[in-house]
């Protein structure tokens, strides 16, 4: 065997490895997403306990979730731009380690203002982590497997929302909220070991390939993906945030947990269905997702006093929404290519703006028009999402070749 053949062996092995899904590494990324969502939402499930423990009102405890979102909005883009030259695994470990610090402070803090700062820190690291995950997953595999890899890496979020948060709330009730956050710190420590063992390292962006933020924003297809992200997330959070008052006419306002469990389980099922199709039918799946969500909103608007219709419509909504983060992040990664992390940071920022915007718009609508207007506002937003997807047929959401 000559020297050229010997030199080709590592390249062949690397190419063969990229033709398989590295499940151990991808599930480590999914666990990072799980911990991120759990850290974000736990205070919402433990409002009374944290209110009593920190001697402040439940309304102020609710601001711990707001502060987390603010941290993500402020930090995702500048942190991603500032760390583009860093090797990827040390950067990923730094983001994960930030959660260990924030959750440790939360578990030990006796002061509300210190807990608030810890939540800001957690949100900052969350913005960086979400900007990294899709690009990281896509670099582990060949291009025709990128969507599937991103879908596996995104599994943590719907599992946390459907199963983790109810379980965390129950655990916090049984053992106390401080121990709940301490357990999150312990899980983060185990994840650091897992990432160091299973997740490969990659180089950062070379200096010559680093596009300025403005040039990434005007890359063909990036803006339609961001627009669909914003309109879809505002529509989702408008309804999701105020689901309790919306369910009152049907008498299900006392069964919000069951309705959301149906939503969460349907979301997980959606990821399982979409995982094998995403690389071949990305455009079609985005259109189907928006159309299904729109149909469920119409059903909720027309028959919101029927408990049976609400459960069915919520399941359809969950099927529509569950895979949408993976679909949008895959579209962003494929569109931006080498600038994927920068494009993802913009997507993460707009995702959090959508969460905040949905909550704010919902509050205004609730006071002025009532919950009956919610489904029709959702339909209008989804029509905009559908239009942007349909027209982005060359870049962003290209037609299947």
Q: Cα(305)–Cα(111) distance, rounded to whole angstroms?
A: 44
305: left (phi over 0), alpha (psi -120 to 50) or beta: alpha
pLDDT at residue 211, rounded to an integer: 77
What integer best gives the mean pLDDT of the chain?
A: 84
Half-sphere exposure of 374 (CA within 13 A, CB side): 31
Q: What is the mean pLDDT of residues 46-61?
A: 83
In the chain, what are the domain boundaries? 22-203, 210-391
pLDDT bin (cut points 50, 70, 90) of residue 18 is low
Q: Give kind and range of the element (H or E) at residue 384.
A: helix 374-391
Is the fold of 22-203 the same as that of 210-391?
Answer: yes
Domain range 210-391, its CATH number among 3.30.70.20, 1.20.1250.20, 1.10.10.10, 1.20.1740.10: 1.20.1250.20
Query: For a pLDDT cut of 70, what percent of the chain falls above it?
Result: 93
pLDDT at residue 143, rounded to an integer: 80
pLDDT at residue 207, rounded to an integer: 67
Burial of 270 (0-12, 13-18, 19+ CB in 10 A): buried
Nearest CA to 357 out of 240, 202, 252, 268 is that of 240
262-321: pLDDT as tens digits: 888 898 888 888 877 887 888 999 999 999 999 999 999 899 888 889 999 999 999 999
Dig out the tokens for 288 from the structure. Answer: 């189907």
Q: Cα(287)–Cα(266) distance, rounded to whole angstroms?
A: 18
Residue found by looking up tokens 């979020």 in the block: 157
Residue 164 predicted with pLDDT over 90: no
Q: What is the mean pLDDT of residues 56-74?
A: 82
Angle between helices 112-139 and 324-336 (to 10 degrees): 60
CATH number attached to the domain at 22-203: 1.20.1250.20
Residue 393 predicted with pLDDT over 90: no
Of 8-17, 38-47, 314-323, the one with minimum mean pLDDT is 8-17
Higher pLDDT, 149 or 194: 194
Report the alpha-carbon angle 99-165-315, nearest 5.
130
pLDDT bin (cut points 50, 70, 90) of residue 12 is very low
Q: Cα(177)–Cα(48) distance, rounded to whole angstroms?
A: 10
State the pTM of this model.
0.81
88-127: pLDDT as tens digits: 999 999 999 999 999 999 999 999 999 999 999 999 999 8
Residue found by looking up tokens 């760390």 in the block: 83
Residue 8 predicted with pLDDT over 50: no
Residue 1 predicted with pLDDT over 70: no
Dig out the tokens for 101 from the structure. Answer: 């610090």
326-370: pLDDT as tens digits: 899 888 888 888 787 888 888 988 888 887 787 777 777 777 888
Nearest CA to 27 out of 128, 161, 151 is that of 151
Residue 243 predicted with pLDDT over 50: yes
pLDDT at residue 208, rounded to an integer: 65
Exposed e or buried b per residue across 205-241, where buried means at least 16 C-beta atoms within 10 angstroms of its C-beta: beeeebbebeebbebebbbbbbbbbbbbbbbbbbbbb
Higher pLDDT, 321 or 147: 321
Residue 182 predicted with pLDDT over 80: yes
Dig out the tokens for 43 from the structure. Answer: 């205070």
pLDDT bin (cut points 50, 70, 90) of residue 31 is very high
Coil vs helix vs strand at 220: coil
pLDDT at residue 10, rounded to an integer: 40
């Amino acid at each position: 065997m000559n020297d050229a053949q010997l030199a080709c062996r590592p390249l062949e092995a690397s190419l063969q490895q990229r033709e398989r899904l590295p499940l151990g590494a991808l599930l480590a990324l999914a666990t990072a997403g799980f911990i991120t969502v759990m850290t974000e939402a736990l205070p919402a499930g433990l409002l009374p306990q944290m209110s009593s423990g920190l001697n402040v009102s439940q309304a102020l405890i609710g601001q711990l979730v707001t502060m987390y979102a603010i941290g993500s909005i402020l930090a995702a883009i500048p942190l991603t731009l500032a760390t583009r030259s860093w090797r990827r695994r040390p950067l990923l470990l730094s983001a994960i380690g930030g959660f260990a610090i924030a959750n440790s402070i939360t578990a030990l803090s006796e002061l509300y203002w210190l807990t608030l700062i810890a939540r800001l820190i957690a949100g900052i690291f969350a913005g960086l982590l979400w900007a990294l995950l899709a690009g990281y997953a896509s670099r582990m595999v060949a291009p025709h497997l990128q969507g599937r890899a991103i879908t596996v890496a995104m599994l943590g979020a719907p599992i946390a929302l459907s199963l983790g948060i109810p379980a965390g709330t129950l655990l916090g009730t049984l053992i106390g909220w401080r121990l709940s956050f301490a357990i999150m710190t312990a899980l983060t420590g185990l994840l650091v070991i897992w990432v160091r063992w299973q997740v490969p390292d990659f180089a950062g962006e070379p200096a010559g390939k680093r596009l300025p933020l403005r040039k990434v924003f005007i890359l063909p297809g990036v803006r339609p993906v961001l627009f669909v992200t914003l309109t879809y997330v505002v529509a989702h959070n408008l309804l999701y945030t105020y689901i309790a008052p919306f369910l009152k006419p049907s008498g299900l306002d006392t069964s919000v947990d069951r309705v959301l469990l149906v939503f969460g389980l349907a979301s997980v099922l959606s990821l399982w269905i979409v995982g094998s199709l995403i690389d071949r039918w990305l455009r079609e799946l985005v259109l189907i997702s928006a159309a299904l969500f729109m149909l469920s909103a119409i059903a909720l608007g027309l028959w919101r006093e029927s408990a049976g219709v609400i459960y069915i419509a919520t399941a359809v909504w969950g099927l529509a929404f569950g895979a949408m983060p993976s679909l949008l992040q895959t579209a962003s990664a494929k569109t931006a290519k080498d600038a994927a992390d920068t494009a993802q940071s913009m997507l993460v920022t707009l995702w959090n703006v959508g969460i905040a915007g949905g909550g704010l718009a919902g509050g205004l609508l609730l006071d002025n028009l009532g919950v009956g207007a919610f489904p029709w506002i959702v339909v209008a937003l989804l029509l905009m999402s559908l239009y942007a997807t349909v027209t982005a047929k060359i870049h962003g959401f290209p037609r299947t070749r």
